[in-house]
Amino acid sequence: MRKKEGNKVQDIINAAIEVFAKQGYHEAKISEIAAIANVATGSVYLYFESKEDLLVKIFSGLWVKLISLVKLIYDRDDLSSIEKLDGFIDTVFDVFTANSKLALLFVKEQPHFLQDKDNKLNILYNNFLEIGEKIIDEGVNKNLFNRNLDKKITKNFIYGGVRHLLHLWAINPNEYPLNKVRQDIKYIVKKGITL
């Protein structure tokens, strides 16, 4: 095999996203990931301990990125809670719009990690959702959102809807155009929770 130039780790991650999204984590083979990344199969194990380690690193990177982006929005004093909620939803769509295979991988495989409450991915996922909850709480406290809302139910409802529609879009983008999905979710959410 010829010498590979560039970032091998990122090439392996990109290849893994493609293979995991297409075949599912359990059916995916490290040799297929290596072939798409244009590296030797053994090279994958230089950077990742196992197939699971590779998937965990993909999701960890995703959650760290999403957390940092939505935290920047939440920390802004110049935005209302409604604008922050818009930004929160937009951030999720923006990250997954950039990579539909990552969206498909996320909706297929993320639920498996949520069963173990103490794993790193579940902790990151909950940190992300907590920022959404803080936005809702802030909106309630500023009398912008309905006081009767249970913030935990509301945040999970919003994120669950976004997650499910991302799944439908990743499978069939023509039937669920992302800009329309994004618009409708934001409209439904804002009309449902604002006063």
Give the per-residue pLDDT at 117.
Answer: 65
Question: 81 and 175: one domain?
Answer: yes
Cβ contact 37:15 at 8 Å: yes
Question: 1 and 18: one domain?
Answer: yes
Question: 41 and 62: one domain?
Answer: no
What whole-number distance in Å separates Cα of residue 142 and Cα of residue 34?
Answer: 52
Question: 93 and 146: one domain?
Answer: yes
Residues of the chain below pLDDT 50: 1-4
CATH of the domain at 148: 1.10.357.10
187-176-114-188 Cα dihedral, nearest 10 degrees:
10
What whole-number distance in Å separates Cα of residue 105 and Cα of residue 20?
Answer: 6
- Secondary structure element (H or E) that encloses residue 174, with its range: none
What whole-number distance in Å separates Cα of residue 99 and Cα of residue 110?
Answer: 16
Give the per-residue pLDDT at 119.
Answer: 81
Question: 119 and 183: one domain?
Answer: yes
Question: 43 and 86: one domain?
Answer: no
Question: 38 and 77: one domain?
Answer: no
Question: 3 and 69: one domain?
Answer: no
Q: Structure pTM?
A: 0.86
pLDDT tens per residue, range 28-72: 999 999 999 999 999 999 999 999 999 999 999 999 999 999 999
- Secondary structure element (H or E) that encloses residue 144, with its range: none
CATH of the domain at 30: 1.10.10.60
Question: 102 and 139: one domain?
Answer: yes
Question: 157 and 83: one domain?
Answer: yes
- Secondary structure element (H or E) that encloses residue 38, with its range: none
The number of distinct structural domains making up the chain is 2
What proportions of the chain, in percent to the nearest 5, are helix, strand and coil? 75, 0, 25
Residue 21 has φ and ψ, to the nearest 5°, of -65, -40
- Secondary structure element (H or E) that encloses residue 23, with its range: helix 8-23
Cβ contact 16:28 at 8 Å: yes
Domain-terminating residue out of 9, 26, 48: 48
Closest CA to 27 of 109, 83, 143, 127: 109
Domain-terminating residue out of 9, 30, 48: 48
Give the per-residue pLDDT at 2.
Answer: 42
Give the per-residue pLDDT at 1.
Answer: 41
145 in helix, strand or coil?
strand
Contacts 24+ apart (CB under 8 A), 149-154: 149/193, 154/193
Question: 85 and 26: one domain?
Answer: no
193 in helix, strand or coil?
helix
Domain range enclosing 23:
1-48
Question: 42 and 60: one domain?
Answer: no
